[in-house]
């Protein structure tokens, strides 16, 4: 089983006035926190930068094993970014991640890869039915086909892509909580308050 990690780093954080992936947490860009969390889970890693992203800055951040690519379409959306990343990996299965989740659990990621074998996707789902399509593992070729179908119909949301997948395995967050009791894996940074919370989390862990 070959595994890849695709990190979407194209978004600009309006509240911070810069690309979200470069916002620093404890002196290190958010995207590096994400990479460090999952670096041992998969050998192939791709970071997808939007057309407005500071690509030179991103190139300097990563070692040669991490590939930086740019959105393939002029119209940007997370689904376009996901398709770009998926088309730039060779692995059979791919994990999609946002760049603003600095506490991704490697144990959860490993479990999702295991649960995705012979499935088109393994997607976390909350008790209220909300799903986490950007912290999910996909069969790469199946996801590419599904994303293209959705985009060709003018749909830009992950739910549309997932509707074209067959054999999706949903994984309850109640199960994942056994590996990550606080479910910090799903904590994302959208505001300065979130950043402060993340900094306090890191201080408590020291």
The pLDDT assigned to 74 comes to 64
Phi, psi angles (nearest 5°) of residue 104: -55, 135
Most distant CA atoms of the chain, gap in Å: 49
Tokens (6 digits) for 59:
């190139």
Cβ atoms within 10 Å, residue 92: 14
The predicted-structure confidence for 67-117, as pLDDT tens digits, reads as follows 888 877 766 788 999 999 999 999 999 999 999 999 999 999 999 999 999
Domain ranges of the chain: 3-205
The predicted-structure confidence for 172-184, as pLDDT tens digits, reads as follows 999 999 999 999 9
Q: Is 3.10.310.10 the CATH classification of the domain at 3-205?
A: no
């Amino acid at each position: 089983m070959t595994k890849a990690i695709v990190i979407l780093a194209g978004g600009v954080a309006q509240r911070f006035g810069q690309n979200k992936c470069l916002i620093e947490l404890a002196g290190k860009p958010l995207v590096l926190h994400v990479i460090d969390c999952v670096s041992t889970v998969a050998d192939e890693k791709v970071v997808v930068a939007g057309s407005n992203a500071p690509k030179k800055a991103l190139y300097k951040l990563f070692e040669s094993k991490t590939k930086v690519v740019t959105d393939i379409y002029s119209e940007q959306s997370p689904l376009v970014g996901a398709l770009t990343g998926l088309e730039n990996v060779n692995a059979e299965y791919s994990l999609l991640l946002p760049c603003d989740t600095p506490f991704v659990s490697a144990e959860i990621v490993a479990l999702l890869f295991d649960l995705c074998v012979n499935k088109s996707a393994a997607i976390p789902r909350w008790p209220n039915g909300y799903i986490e399509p950007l912290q999910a593992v996909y069969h790469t070729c199946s996801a590419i086909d599904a994303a293209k179908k959705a985009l060709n119909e003018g749909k830009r949301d992950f739910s549309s892509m997932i509707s074209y997948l067959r054999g999706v395995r949903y994984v309850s967050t109640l199960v994942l909580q056994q590996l990550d009791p606080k479910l910090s894996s799903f904590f994302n940074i959208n505001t300065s308050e979130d950043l402060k919370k993340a900094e306090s989390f890191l201080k408590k862990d020291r």
